[in-house]
Structure formats: structure tokens, C-alpha cells
Structure 1
Amino acid sequence: MKEEYLSPEIKTGIEPNLDFDDLTRLSEVEIRYKLKVQPKDRPKVTMAMEAYKLIRPFFDDCLHHHEEAWIMLLNRNLKVLGVARLSVGNQENTIIDPRTVLQLMLKTNATSSIIFHNHPSQNLAFSPEDLKVTRNIMDACRLLNMNCLDHVIVGEESYSSYSEGGY
């Protein structure tokens, strides 16, 4: 085999103009696959993060002025069926009624939902009332074989997730 027929990666270590019939004398080619970003270093994309990106524009007019609650309705494959406003409140609170959540889910044939609301103060911590209403909605959904997957507090640049918070 002539050197001119060898690829540049294999030529290493071969004397020029030398005929080769013994392939064991060819240089070993080493191929390495090294990730520049290790899986542990990659940002974890969560369902709450993706949902936040979709719902955030709905809060543009109220983010700092008053609280609003919205629901994202999802089918069995977690595809978005639609979003609906649950309530409009004041600077300090808004009402999220579990019956309204279930009504919207049943009317749209949604099997899952994610609840969103904002805090005008931009404090993304869940209040005791937020935690209570979330547990009530999740319990009510389970009775009807549906799921409330998360409750997300929407902020200007970030969010807080009930599911990710380990509540």
C-alpha cells in the first residue's frame, strides 16, 4: 500500500516513499469524544422553566401593579391546549379558586394544568396562602384523575416553582 493512498491521519509515523504490505506497522489512530460541557454542568431545563417562558408575556401589563392568576391547560401529552386568566387581584393578593381551576380543566378536556401568579413586590417566595391553595388544587385534581403539575410565581426575570421547591 502506497503512502499516497493513506489518509493524513494515518500517515503519521510512516516513512515517505516506502511500500507497505504490513498494516500492523501503521500508526494507531486515536479518536476521542470529549464533551466541552459535561452533563452535570449543563443548565437543567425544567418543565417550570419552559412554562415560565411561555406564560411570562401574559404578565407584561400587571407584573408590578397588581396580582393576576393564570392557568395553563395541558393534554395527556403535556401539549398546551390554552391559557386562561383565573383572577385579577390587587397589590397584595388574588383569589385562586380550586373550583374554577377544575371547571376550566373539565371544559377544555385538559388532563393537567400549571397555575401561575405574580407578586408585584417581586418577592418570589410562596406565602402560606399560596401553599394552601396549591395543595387544595392538587388534591382536588387527584380526585378527578387529573394533575396540577406545578404552581409558579412569575417574576420579572425569574420564577419560583412549587414542584422544584420541594413543597
Structure 2
Amino acid sequence: MLAGGSMNNKGRSLSLKLRDGTAVKEDLPFEKFLKYGPQALTDSELLAIIVRCGTKDHDPMQIGQQILTRCRQYETGIGGLYQLSVDELMKIDGLGQVKAVQIKCIAELSLRIIRSRKSDVVTFQSSEDIARYYMEQLRHKDQEHVILIALDARMRLICDKTLYIGTVSSCRISARDIFRQALMTGAAQIALVHNHPSGNPLPSDADIEMTRRILELGHIMEIPVYDHIIIGDRQYSSLNEVLNRN
């Protein structure tokens, strides 16, 4: 038997429930997706479809809500999904390694979709533009990533290349490797960007000294270094600004 739910102005029930409290079929996330499209689903409902199977103690919707709760340890809403590790996801009852990896793959795909929708020709006007472009790619990383950005004379992006992935505490950068890669791309100028896993973008003494060396070598090689940018958590530092202040 059915108990009455809320009605819209056409008299159709939006939330019919069985007397035992379970949802009727059309209210389940998968059926709701088919009827109204993905935009009609909440974050937890979308996650429930991905999870698909629950446990004897938790249905997929409850597991989806637990995933969102863990996301909020890092930031508001679904954005924290990118920062959750596979091990953290596997601590949720009902999520095994395969499902946790699938969820992380979806998070990575969403980031790549965002980047692929950017203009085919990316032109930077400032260090802030560069920081914004790489912020979401780098701010979640738990190791330092150093990226070489090859630019033409009009500050258009030719390509970028991850040169190094280091430990949380250190990442060695060879100026020779930087300019060898720059020459291979035909760059008229370059920029560097790397992240601080701590979330604090303030440069260390080593960052400042390394940037000085790279600027000097860029002058000798006639490949100017536009800037070296450090990415933190929604913050960035420009080494050019730091050096100019000093």
C-alpha cells in the first residue's frame, strides 16, 4: 500500500513512499536519472548510482552520503572528492578497492573535462592567469609537481610538461633540464609552476635561490623566464614579485 507524498500543482506525487518507508521505484536515483536527467539528482544520488550496491547495513544512498561527509573534511561539497585517497574511501563500509578506484577515476576525468573545455589557444596575461589555470590541477597533490610552461612571444601556451614529482619535503630541479626542454619546444619564453602540498604558497629560501639561478640562465640562453609560481590551497605566490621586493 502507498502513503501519500507531496504533490505538485498538477497533482502528481513527487515523493510517494511505501508504508515501510522504502522509496517507490521512480524515486530511486537510477530511475530518477532516466526520467529527469542527471541535473535533477543530488550529489549523494549521483554517487549512489556509481556505488550501485549497498551492504546489509547501508544502502547506496547512505554510502553516497558518507562519501560526501568525508569530502567535507577537505572542502565544502563534492570538491573534496579529488583529495580523498583510495585508502580513505575504502574505510567506508561498502566500498572496496575496485569501487574506490572507479570513484577516483571519475574525479580525475571531471578535472580533465574542465581543462579540455578551455580555449584551444590559451593566452596568459599575467602571473595570476597562470596560477588560476593550474590551481585545480596542483592544489590537491600530496607531492611536489614541477611544471615547465612553454610560451610563445605573445604569451600563448605552446605546451606544458611535468618535469619532476618529488617528495612532500623536497623536489630537486635541474636548470639544465629546464632549458633543454624549453629548447625542444621552441619556446620564446617560459614559466615554471610548482605546488606546495602543505597548502602554504610562501617560497622557501631554496625556492628563491633556485629561481635566481634559473633567471640568470634564462638571460644567458636568451629564453626569458616570465615567472616562477608556487601553488598553495587556493593561493599562490609569484617569485618575480618576491625577488622584486627584495
Common fold, TM-score beyond 0.5?
Answer: yes
Higher helix share: 2
Change (3 A) 1:46 1:162: farther
Deviation of residue 115 (structure 1)?
A: 0.7
Determine the structure 2 residue equivalent to 1:86.
Answer: 163
Determine the structure 2 residue equivalent to 1:158.
Answer: 235
Q: Unmatched 5+ residue regions in structure 1?
A: 1-44
- Residues 139 and 199 in structure 2, CA contact (< 8 A), matched pair in contact too: no
Q: How do 1:91-110 and structure 2 match up within 5 A?
A: 91-110=168-187
Sequence identity percentage: 23
Determine the structure 1 residue equivalent to 2:147.
Answer: 70
Determine the structure 2 residue equivalent to 1:59.
Answer: 138
Partner of 1:121: helix, strand, or coil?
coil
CA RMSD across the alignment = 1.7
Alpha-carbon distance in structure 1 between the residues aligned to 2:228 and 2:125:
13
Instruction: Find out whether 1:123 has 2:196 as its counterpart.
Output: no
Instruction: Find out whether 1:147 has 2:212 as its counterpart.
Output: no
Deviation of residue 60 (structure 1)?
A: 5.3
Partner of 1:149: helix, strand, or coil?
strand
- Residues 200 and 233 in structure 2, CA contact (< 8 A), matched pair in contact too: no
Number of residue-to-residue matches in the alignment = 121
Please list the CA deviations of residues 98-127 of structure 1 after superposition, one character each: whole Å capped at 9, or x if unmatched: 011101110011011111111111221111
Q: Output the amino acid matched with 1:103.
A: R
- Residues 198 and 232 in structure 2, CA contact (< 8 A), matched pair in contact too: no
Higher strand share: 1
Deviation of residue 56 (structure 1)?
A: 2.0
Q: How do 1:15-34 and structure 2 match up within 5 A?
A: none
Superposed structure 1 runs of 4+ greater than 4 Å apart:
none
Deviation of residue 164 (structure 1)?
A: 2.2
Instruction: Find out whether 1:50 has 2:129 as its counterpart.
Output: yes
Partner of 2:240: helix, strand, or coil?
coil
Alpha-carbon distance in structure 2 between the residues aligned to 1:114 and 1:121:
22
Alpha-carbon distance in structure 2 between the residues aligned to 1:75 and 1:104:
14
TM-score, with length taken from structure 2: 0.47
- Residues 230 and 236 in structure 2, CA contact (< 8 A), matched pair in contact too: yes
